[in-house]
Structure 1
Amino acid sequence: MDESGEPGAPRVVAVFTAYHPDHRLAAAVESALLSCSSVIVVDNTPGGGSTAPELAGPRVTVLAHGRNVGLGAALNLAVRELPSDAEAVLFLDQDSELPPEIVPGLVADLADPAVGIAAPSPWDPRHQRYYCSDARRNDSVSDEEAVITSGMLVRREVLEKVPFDEDMFIDWVDVAFCLAVKRAGWRIVIDWRLRLPHEIGACEVHTRFGRTVHYSHYPAWRLYWIGRNVSILHRGHFAGRPRALASSLVFLAERLTNTLLFEPKRRTHVPALLRGFRDGFSGRVSPRYLPPGAEHPKV
């Protein structure tokens, strides 16, 4: 029996990645401990001053290495620290406070041995909307190409065979991981009956030409990695898949257009996005677009 009290339920370990965490991390960890056997927090905050180490306790392990090694490397570090009896891992962002029904619901979805990843439907509480379009939602479970990192429950066996891509650093790490998992033969599902609150960072609503757009105002370095990693997905995952390639190109075109229309710092942000797209095809990394305190294996 796991900590949630369900007889025969697999032992689920929650993994958080932290970067300059605020008070929401403590609340998120506390909510995860109600449903999971233990929690691992990988703190990517450079230098000292992070509050994450204060959360360490009998069921909470904090890995505070004082460096920003990126999302993929942080997730792989957590996987290496999993206790031997962990059977599944729930990945969460530092602001993801866990509703009590999420873990039991996702565990039930993993009862199908073909399912490698089960995820809830992410919900933006600030703007009161789902991440996914109405056309994709239903009242049960559906197979998907990819899901976002926060909220996905992954079999231990999957994580032992498919690592996260550390070269991608931050954006699209979850998509690349999911595509690799599908190639390895597992199903990926979203359980639409489960809703996980997840805020979209710095998102604002703009209306132009009668169309409403939700645009996330990221720093220039983040746009660089969005552009770079779209290129990596083309090169490494979308070869021979015209529909997937077209979809990601449409995304990049929309991101470029919205940056031109809605980003006040377009003179720095547009070049960052385009430079990232070019570097992704060449396999290079521009050190100027690493966030402060960050380390990348190719730099």
Structure 2
Amino acid sequence: MHTSLIDAVVFACYEPPTELLDRVATVARLVDRVYVVDDGSRTLDPSFYRYLDACPNVTVMMKPENRGIAHSLNLGFSAALAAGARFVMTLDQDTVVDEALFDAMNSAVDELERTRPHAWGAVGPGVVSGMRYHRDSSEGLRPTPEIIQSAAVFNSEGLRSAGLTDESLVIDAVDTDLCLRLRVHGYQVFADDRVQIAHPIGSGGSVRILGRRVSVTHHSPLRRYYITRNRLVMFRRYGRRERRWFLVTLRRLVIATILALTIEDARGAKFRAVVAGIRDFLLGHSGPAPSPLRSSIDAEVVDGIAVVLVTHNGMRFLEQQLASIAGQSTTPDAIYLVDDRSSDGSSEFVVDYFATHGRIPVVVVRAPEIRTSDLYTRIAANFEAGLRAASKYRYIALSDQDDVWEADRLAMQRDRLSSGRVLLTVGDGMLIDQDGVPTGTRLRDRFPVPAAWNEATSAERMRLLLRHPMATGAAMMIDSHLVQYATPVPAGWLHDRWLSLVGAAIDSIDVDDRVVVRYRISPSQVVGTRGQVDKSGWEHLADGGSRPLLAARKIGHLSGRLRDVADGEQIRAELSVHRVLRSYLGNRRREAA
């Protein structure tokens, strides 16, 4: 066992990424005891944590329901203190940890024990994702009002004197409250500027305002509620005692709130969340957000990648597709499987495969009971069910059952979306035959992107997409915020066609020239490029000429529902009835420039 002053580590987890298992195993080699506290994850496969059975000093605690990080930390703290731990480190599930971090934090603890025994309560890295607690460049241990709890080390003496975390706060300002309470009880808090960690906050990102680069977090509305309510609670508890901290933190809260309500997405929901947070602070309400509030603002979005896979008797090619998913350079956090009544064991095969390849959790989503003979409606309903279930993750990749992904597909497409500028990206694909041999043709040869696309205005892009499809679901990844705009998918539409139209309507679609998938063409293919190319909007509708009511409904979907979500007058103008008739139902194809 590695010699360490830090004798216990607590991981607070909720819907953890697969990388967590390797991080825990690394930490288990460095300290005596590790406590992994899962805060009621809903989508984890029951076998997820079995990998840790090989680590005898790791204890996994599975909570039956989500009660917040404060409760998770208290479970870990209590277990560590009961086992006699003196110095306890806390870690988030997404913090990058290695032996160098532990050596640095052990050195900090050793220095404090030599110079300030019985006078310090917590110490943490002084540089978090490039941001310093102190503006000057001097290095070493520096007193500070608060530190983030990830990679922080807490002195058991201080915890016993000041108490553990305040569970009524649930998820925000938990570390702030504990640090300030330690100071009230005479235990100083330190940041070590020689130590740095990479720790994502929210979905991250920055914008330029008046020539200055300003950070934005893109926290969910529910998180914004807790931030507002709990920061106000902190001001009331400690504002008079910690005057400088109060002024600095108040300024940050005001700026972050203004940015959330003016620049970030879901501004309406975030405004309601801020108002609710202020109201509940004034009324003295604490604990979890009220149920009506949770239903009025969207739940916390995990900054990870989910895959929505739809299957139907796909055993012939399924293993090749699953192998390409498991072999991604960036491992997905979860697979959402929608099986449309397979009789060949496809669903069971997917679950068993990922249990032994990559340890990727599989969530089986019940296929909707659709009473319709329309194939497009049925397929779209299956993907919609998967998208809704997977929307707790920020990034969602769509998958057919018979293709093969390029090894860096998820990484490439996540990077395209991570800037926050668009909600949908679609790549190109290499066509392969049923034996996996390239045909020499690409998806863009079948669904061409006009040369003028990059220079086109948002209205012109809307018009181009109305005329001809150019976004195939098998090569598509979306930001989960698109789900609220695009669902429910209207009857008669394929999911990928509707998603791309919605993406264009809100000016949030990205077209990537890189190949992300090898797209299989086979006689068993239900839909795809076979028989679907070189058709104008009118010809697609003419195929259903015996269904004039459906054709009329589609025009209504475009000029009604799609127009309602459109961003800007120019796009809305393109979706007026007469322009839809001109663009979507044009009876002659305009060749791509």
Match of 2:74 in 1: 76
Deviations 1:158-206 (A, max 9, x none): 2223210101111111001000001111111111111222122300121
Match of 2:470 in 1: none
State the 1:47 CA deviation.
Answer: 4.2
Report the secondary structure of 1:148's partner residue: coil
State the 1:54 CA deviation.
Answer: 4.3
State the 1:247 CA deviation.
Answer: 2.5
Q: 1:141 touches 1:192 (CA, 8 Å); kept in 2? A: yes
1:174-213 equivalences in 2 (<5 Å): 174-213=175-214
Runs of 4 or more, structure 1, over 4 Å off, are 289-293
Structure 1 pair 185/53, CA: closer, same or farther in 2 (3 Å)? farther
**Which amino acid is the alignment partner of residue 155 of structure 1?**
N
Structure 1 pair 160/231, CA: closer, same or farther in 2 (3 Å)? same
Q: Distance in 1 between matches of 2:271 and 2:299?
A: 20
Match of 1:92 in 2: 91
Report the secondary structure of 1:110's partner residue: helix
Pick from 65, 68, 92 the counterpart of residue 67 of structure 1: 65
Structure 1 pair 292/260, CA: closer, same or farther in 2 (3 Å)? closer
Structure 1 pair 264/16, CA: closer, same or farther in 2 (3 Å)? same
Match of 2:34 in 1: 39
Structure 1 pair 281/241, CA: closer, same or farther in 2 (3 Å)? farther
**Which amino acid is the alignment partner of residue 19 of structure 1?**
Y
Q: Distance in 1 between matches of 2:137 and 2:28?
A: 29
Match of 1:256 in 2: 257
TM-score, length-scaled by structure 2: 0.45
Structure 1 pair 279/52, CA: closer, same or farther in 2 (3 Å)? farther
Check if 1:287 corresponds to 2:291.
Answer: yes
Match of 1:297 in 2: none
State the 1:208 CA deviation.
Answer: 2.0
Higher relative contact order (CA 8 A, sep 6+): 1
Structure 2 unmatched ranges of 5 or more: 301-593
TM-score, length-scaled by structure 1: 0.87
Q: Distance in 1 between matches of 2:283 and 2:157?
A: 33
Which segment is superposed worse, 78-87 or 171-180? Answer: 78-87
Pick from 28, 33, 41 the counterpart of residue 23 of structure 2: 28
Structure 1 pair 273/92, CA: closer, same or farther in 2 (3 Å)? same
Which segment is superposed worse, 95-104 or 155-164? Answer: 95-104
Report the secondary structure of 1:58's partner residue: coil
State the 1:157 CA deviation.
Answer: 1.6
**Which amino acid is the alignment partner of residue 155 of structure 2?**
R
Q: Distance in 2 between matches of 1:227 and 1:220?
A: 10
Deviations 1:264-290 (A, max 9, x none): 211111221232123123221533445
Structure 1 pair 99/122, CA: closer, same or farther in 2 (3 Å)? farther
> Which of structures 1 and 2 has the bigger CA Rg?
2
State the 1:80 CA deviation.
Answer: 1.6
State the 1:139 CA deviation.
Answer: 1.6
Pick from 122, 128, 132 the counterpart of residue 123 of structure 1: 128
State the 1:30 CA deviation.
Answer: 2.1
Report the secondary structure of 1:117's partner residue: strand
Report the secondary structure of 2:256's partner residue: helix
Q: Distance in 1 between matches of 2:282 and 2:127?
A: 31
State the 1:72 CA deviation.
Answer: 0.9
Report the secondary structure of 1:101's partner residue: helix
Report the secondary structure of 1:67's partner residue: coil
1:121-270 equivalences in 2 (<5 Å): 121-124=126-129, 130-132=130-132, 135-161=135-161, 162-239=163-240, 241-270=242-271
Q: Distance in 2 between matches of 1:175 and 1:137?
A: 24
- CA RMSD after TM alignment: 2.2
Q: Distance in 1 between matches of 2:2 and 2:182?
A: 28
